């Protein structure tokens, strides 16, 4: 059996393995899944399987988030799951006890990368239940991440809520948040993880009264590891998002022209955008925070476009190739029913000159998404770097209130 499975994985593409055994079923209910890193730091998450409209769908579960995955196929003893975003998929087979084993693959611009994957049915827990919690992690924590391999450090603010042994939260940074982290306290040991098709994270640390020590952050398919520690500080704040990127001195208006998804040239100077408030979002289909912002903007635009507001997405994909970028964006935009124009810049997010090549009026592009607010006269009023998504709780609610207030100001100017 095992030799046959290896052949199926090694072949060109992936076809169902005909082992001669009876067809297995993708059991409804909650599953516990693991991505098995080579260093033994398994990234654990949960998903819920349901029957909808005569077919199987699943929801990836992280804290309060339920990410719908509706491209699920069962063939013989094999299962194929395509994630709705970030161009990744699972290929697995049923084992004798109804579990799954296989691989998760990310399709990057220039290569594919994979990691072994297993999943157990009827397992709602994320991490095994351990000792009673010996510490309380609820609150705000000034956090330092240290990447020893690159000899650099970064800061964030961790925000956590603990209910018994369960812990939810996220890390806030100047360029966005870590989305929905889900985990538990085992004595004084904190474990958190998340998976959304792009993010695949595991955090471990020891919690003391007002500090978190001996932290390890395991990221992704490879062997990337960072140390982290934190100090409790309920008044900590990030730098003002409006100060990270700004218009250059003497500049007040943007000037750009890029092709839309159909290859038609669209300019900020087109009649469609004159005498209207305009929101520009710098985004990419590879970016989880952009996914959250796109979900918000798409719904908001459908309800508010008649107020004299336009939105333009500027996409920075992982390849400068138009057709490849177009393909990567299509599913992303369809999922959110995006009705505003999204333009393909042809510049990658890794390009150190991406700002000068696309929006030279800005001081820099420091992160994705970056959102630019333009009044009815065409003047840039504010530039916001990063996005506090639904995983940030109160920060997301504050963002929505601030967004609405700023749009009203733009329309009244």
Taking a C-beta distance cutoff of 8 angstroms, is the pair 391, 357 a contact? Answer: no
pLDDT, one tens digit per residue, over 149-203 is 899 999 999 999 999 999 999 999 998 999 999 999 999 999 999 999 998 999 9
Three-state DSSP state, 220: coil
pLDDT for 109: 79
Order of strands, sheet of 29-35, starting from the edge strand that comes earlier in the sequence: 65-69, 55-62, 43-52, 29-35, 112-120, 100-107, 88-94, 78-82, 71-75
Q: Span 29-120: which CATH code?
A: 2.40.160.90
Looking at residue 353, its pLDDT comes to 96
Residue 22: predicted pLDDT: 44
Q: What is the pLDDT of residue 397?
A: 95
List per-block mean pLDDT (blocks of 10 residues) for the chain, which spans 413 residues.
Answer: 37 42 77 96 97 94 96 94 93 95 91 95 94 96 95 96 97 94 97 95 97 97 94 93 95 97 97 97 95 97 96 96 94 95 97 97 96 97 95 94 96 88
Q: Quote the tokens at residue 282.
A: 């710098």
**12 contacts: CB under 8 Å, gap ≥ 6:** none
One of 2.60.40.10, 3.40.30.10, 3.40.50.300, 3.30.1330.10 is the CATH number of 241-412, namely 3.40.30.10
Would you state the pLDDT for residue 132?
Answer: 96
Positive or negative: CA dihedral 323, 389, 172, 220: negative
Distance in angstroms (rounded) separating the CA atoms of residues 280 and 380: 10
CA 397 to chain centre: 19
d(CA 193, CA 201): 5
> What does the pLDDT read at residue 288?
92
pTM for this one?
0.89
At 24 the pLDDT is 76
């900020």: which residue's tokens?
Answer: 268
SS3 assignment for 29-71: EEEEEEECCCCCCCEEEEEEEEEECCEEEEEEEECCEEEEECE
Return the closest-CA partner of residue 126 out of 186, 70, 72, 69.
186
Buried b / exposed e across 355-372, counting CB within 10 Å, b at 16+? beebbebbebbbbbbbbb
pLDDT for residue 13: 40
* Interatomic CA distance for residues 212 and 215, integer angstroms: 7
The pLDDT value recorded for residue 18 is 45
Domain-by-domain residue ranges, the chain?
29-120, 139-232, 241-412
Q: Structure tokens of 306?
A: 């008649």
Separation of CA 341 from chain center: 22
What was the pLDDT predicted at 49?
Answer: 97
- 40: closest CA among 116, 128, 144, 120? 116
Which pLDDT does position 108 carry in this prediction? 84
What would the DSSP string read from start to end of 150-184? TTEEEEEEEEEEEETTEEEEEEEETTEE---EEEE
Q: Which pLDDT does position 6 carry in this prediction?
A: 34
- Please report the pLDDT score of residue 14 as a whole number: 43
Helices (H), 81-218: none
Q: Which helix (H) or strand (E) holds 329?
A: helix 322-335
Q: What torsion do the CA atoms of 131, 196, 63, 368 make, to the nearest 10 degrees?
A: 120
Q: Residue 223: its pLDDT value, please?
A: 85
CA distance 20 to 4: 11
User: Which tokens sit at 153?
Assistant: 């450090």
- Check whether the bond before 17 is cis (ω within 30° of 0): no
Lookup result for tokens 């092709």: 259
Q: Comparing C-alpha atoms, which of 188, 235, 194, 234 is closest to residue 212?
A: 188
**d(C-alpha 202, C-alpha 189), whole Å:** 13
Q: Is 316 in contact with 348 (CB distance < 8 Å)?
A: yes
Q: So what CATH class is 139-232?
A: mainly beta
């Amino acid at each position: 059996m095992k030799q046959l499975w290896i052949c199926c994985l090694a072949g060109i593409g992936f076809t169902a393995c005909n082992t001669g055994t009876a067809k297995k079923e993708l059991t409804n209910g909650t599953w516990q899944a693991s991505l098995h890193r080579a260093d033994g730091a398994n990234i654990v998450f949960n998903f819920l399987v349901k029957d909808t409209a005569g077919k199987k769908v699943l929801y990836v579960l992280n804290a309060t988030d339920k990410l719908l995955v509706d491209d699920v196929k069962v063939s013989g003893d094999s299962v194929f799951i395509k994630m709705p975003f970030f161009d990744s998929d699972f290929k697995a087979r049923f084992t004798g006890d109804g579990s799954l084993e296989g691989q998760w693959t990310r399709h990057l611009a220039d290569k594919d990368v994979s990691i072994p994957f297993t999943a157990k049915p009827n397992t709602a827990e994320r991490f095994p239940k351990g000792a009673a919690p010996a510490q309380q992690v609820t609150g705000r924590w000034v956090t330092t991440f240290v990447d020893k391999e690159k000899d650099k450090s970064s800061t964030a603010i961790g925000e956590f809520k603990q209910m018994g042994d369960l812990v939810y939260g996220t890390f806030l940074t100047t360029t966005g948040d870590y989305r929905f982290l889900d985990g538990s306290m085992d004595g004084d040991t904190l474990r958190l993880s998340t998976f959304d098709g792009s993010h695949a994270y595991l955090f471990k640390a020891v919690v003391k009264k007002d500090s978190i020590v001996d932290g390890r952050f395991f990221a992704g398919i490879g062997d990337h590891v960072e140390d982290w520690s934190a100090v409790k500080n309920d008044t900590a704040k990030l730098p003002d998002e409006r100060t990270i990127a700004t218009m250059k001195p003497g500049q007040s208006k943007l000037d750009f022209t890029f092709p839309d998804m159909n290859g038609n040239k669209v300019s900020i100077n087109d009649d469609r955008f004159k005498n209207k408030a305009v929101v520009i979002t710098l985004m990419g289909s590879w970016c989880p925070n952009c996914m959250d912002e796109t979900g918000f903007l798409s719904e908001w635009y459908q309800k508010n476009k008649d107020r004299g507001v336009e939105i333009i997405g500027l996409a920075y994909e992982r390849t400068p190739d138009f057709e490849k970028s177009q393909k990567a964006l299509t599913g992303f935009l369809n999922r959110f029913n995006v009705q505003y124009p999204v333009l393909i810049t042809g510049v990658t997010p890794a390009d150190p000159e991406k700002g000068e090549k696309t929006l030279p009026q800005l001081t820099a592009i420091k992160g994705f998404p970056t959102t630019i607010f333009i009044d009815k006269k065409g003047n840039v009023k504010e530039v916001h770097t990063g996005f506090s998504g639904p995983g940030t709780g109160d920060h997301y609610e504050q963002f929505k209130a601030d967004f609405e207030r700023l749009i009203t100001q733009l329309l009244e100017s």
